[in-house]
Amino acid sequence: MAENMKTLGEFIVEKQLDFPDASGSLSQLLGAIRLAAKVVNREINKAGLVDIIGSAGQENVQGEQQQKLDIYANDKFKAAMEARGEVCGVASEEEDDFVAFNNTQSKNGKYIVLMDPLDGSSNIDVNVSVGTIFSIYKRVSPVGSEVTEADFLQPGRKQIAAGYVIYGSSTMLVYSTGNGVHGFTLDPSIGVFCLSHQDMKIPTDGKIYSINEGNYIKFPEGVKRYIKFCQQEAPEQGRPYTSRYIGSLVSDFHRNLLKGGIFIYPTTASAPKGKLRLLYECNPMAFLMEQAGGKASDGFSSILDIKPSELHQRTSFFVGSTNMVNTAEAMMADFSGPDAETNL
C-alpha cells in the first residue's frame, strides 16, 4: 500500500470539515461500522476452519433459515452500534422487531441504523462473495426518549448515509453521506481501510444484466420482454448484453456499479410483493446508486420515494445504469395495467 494512501478514518475526518455544523457523531458511527466490518471479515476468512458456517437451525422473521454467520454478524454490528452511544436503536433483517438501546447515552443518540448484517450468507459455504448493507437516518422521536417504530419507517430520501461492505477477493467498504460514493479497500497487512475508489460513478449505459433467469416463467410480462431485449442481436446498440448473476445482492451491485449494468429482482407469481427488503437492502443501495449517477426503481417509480408501512416490507427492485433502468421501466409500463393484454 502506497505510503500516501488516505485511510478511511482520515477521509471521514476530512469530509467532516465540509459540514460546518457537524459534531463528529456521524463520523464516530461510521467508525463503529468500520470496526464491526473488520471483526466480521476476520471470521468469514476462517470459514471452513472453525465451526462458523452452515445453518444455525432456526428461522428469521421472514421464514428463512438463518446461517451461523448471520447471527454472528448481527450481534457484532449491534454491539458496535450500542458501544459508541451515537445510535438510539437498530433494525435488522435478522430481528423480529427493532432493537432500542436503553442506556442513557444511547437514548441521547441522534441516529438509527437499519442493516442486513450478512447479505448472501448461504454463499459462504462455497466461497462466494457476501456483504453487509447499512442505512443511517436521523431519528424523528425526541432526543432523550426511547426510540419508536416511526424512527425506522422513513422514506429512503431521508437517509443521511448508506453503504455496504463486500467480503470478497478483497474486502471493501463503500459508503456515501450524500456527497458522492467512495470505496475503501482493507489492507490486511495493517488492518486499515484505505481509499481506493474515490467519487465512484456508474456508466450511463452498461452491457450486463443481472437477474435469476431460472424464475423466468414467474416474471411479469414487462420483465420477460426486457430480458429478450437484452438478448437480442443489435451490435450497433451494444447488444446482446452479458448475463451475470451471483445471487448475492452486494456482489452483483458492486460489479455493476464499477462496470455498468442493471440488477433486477422483480415480483413473481410466488412473491407478488417482491422478495428484497425495502429498508435493509433496497433503500441503501438506491441511495448509493443515485449518488453514483444511476437509478433505482420498483419498476415504475423511485425506490427512495416509497413510504414504508412495516419493518420487513418487501419490494421489487430495478437498479443500475440510468438508460438501462429507463428501458426496463418503459417495458414494465407497456405490459402492465388493464390494457396490457392488447400488447401481448
Tell whether 178 is in a known binding site: no
Annotated binding-site residue? 275 = yes
Residue 221 assigned ligand-binding role = no
| Nearest to 99, CA basis, from 87, 110, 109 | 87
Q: Would the annotation count 116 as a binding residue?
A: yes
121 marked as part of a ligand binding site: yes
Which residues have CB under 8 Å from 66's CB, separation 6+? 55, 56, 58, 59, 60, 94
| 96 is known to lie in a ligand binding site | no
Query: Is 334 annotated in some ligand binding site?
Result: no
Q: Is 245 annotated as a binding residue?
A: yes
293 is in an annotated binding site: no
Give Cα separations from 288 to 34, 200, 244, 271 (angstroms).
17, 10, 21, 26
Strand order in the sheet with 295-297: 242-243, 208-210, 262-265, 317-320, 295-297
Instruction: Determine if residue 212 is labeled as part of a ligand binding site.
Output: yes
User: What's at 140, amino acid-wise?
Assistant: V
Strand-pair partners of 136: 113, 161
CA distance 247 to 21: 41
Q: How far apart are CA 114 and CA 153, in angstroms?
A: 10
Question: Residue 68: what are its φ and ψ, rounded to 5°?
Answer: -55, -40
Residue 236 annotated as binding? no
Annotated binding site: 93, 116, 118-122, 212, 245, 275, 281
Annotated binding-site residue numbers for Mg(2+): 93, 116, 118-119, 281
What residue numbers does the annotated binding site for substrate cover? 119-122, 212, 245, 275
